Amino acid sequence: MNPTTFTAALAQLTPVGLAELIDRAALQTRVDRKYVVPLDQLPHLLDQLVPAARVLDIDGERVFRYESVYFDTPRLISYHCAAYRRRRRFKVRTRSYLDSAQCWLEVKISGARGSITKHRLPYDPGDRATVRPGRDFVDAALRQEAVQPAADDAFDPVLVTSYQRATLLLPASASRVTIDTDLTWRAGDSTLRLPGLAVVETKTSCTASPADRMLWQRRIRPVRISKYATGLAALRPELPDSPWRRTLRRHFPSLQSLTDPAPTTTLRSAQEASCV
């Protein structure tokens, strides 16, 4: 599917403004379901959603460029908490909306039963590669959610992701759907792209949305994928990757030759001791 086809499919949807989208489906505490969808299936999904969905439209644009910088400690506490499926997990990142030159510092906490809580702070785009100006905010958010990395742990930039996103509002269920394409990951001198695929994410208060049910009807099931953790696992095969191994093998074919990491018991115990 070329970008023109996707744009044409989005054009069929009724627009919604940003203020109304936030008012009706902010969902800072929510349940996320993620799907990896072939690009050529997106128009069919959008066709089915036409009666139920509205698309975010800002000054006539419906697809927007995003960049996220993910931060972690020298021991990669955030990554290892996710890799070992600790009950309380967190991510620290800046998210830049490149088309509007806006930036936020965000702390995302994963809790019980897949719930997600997000804390956000408006941020200077010039500081998007550092958490230093917002470190007090990060520490306060983690304390509020009972997540306590060592007080002297630095948070350094580890991974940069970029992609294009369309956002849908499903008014009947007060839920949102994001569709991310042109996904790119960068860590140091390494770059990884995901051609031919989109990451579709549904964000609901609890129950499945109409988009979830439509995807299930097409036999597309939720997968474990994290832009931070899965991307870092793909670029650094020495890291433990158990939660995302199936996704890596199925949807990242160029990485199938990577050997499975086998961290020692000592390493695992040390990393798990760093997690909350």
Q: Dihedral sign, CA of 66, 71, 77, 80?
A: positive
Q: Which residues are 96's β-sheet partners? A: 67, 103
Tens of pLDDT, residue by residue over 11-34, are 999 999 999 998 887 755 668 899
Tens of pLDDT, residue by residue over 62-97, are 999 999 999 999 999 999 999 998 878 899 999 999
**Which stretch of 103-107, 176-180, 204-208 has the lowest confidence by average pLDDT?**
204-208
- Predicted local confidence at residue 272, as pLDDT: 40
Tens of pLDDT, residue by residue over 30-67, are 688 999 999 999 998 999 988 889 999 999 999 999 99
Tens of pLDDT, residue by residue over 182-211, are 999 999 999 999 888 999 999 887 788 889
Task: Determine contact, residues 260/245, Cβ cutoff 8 Å.
Answer: yes
CA distance 252 to 67: 21
* Percentage, residues of the chain above pLDDT 70: 85
More confident residue, 259 or 146: 146
**Which stretch of 104-118, 191-205, 255-269 has the lowest confidence by average pLDDT?**
255-269
Domains in the chain, CATH or no CATH each: 3-274 (2.40.320.10)
- Predicted local confidence at residue 275, as pLDDT: 47
CA distance 276 to 270: 12
- Predicted local confidence at residue 50, as pLDDT: 86
Task: Look up the pTM and report it.
Answer: 0.85
Tens of pLDDT, residue by residue over 129-152, are 999 999 999 999 998 888 876 566
- Predicted local confidence at residue 240, as pLDDT: 95
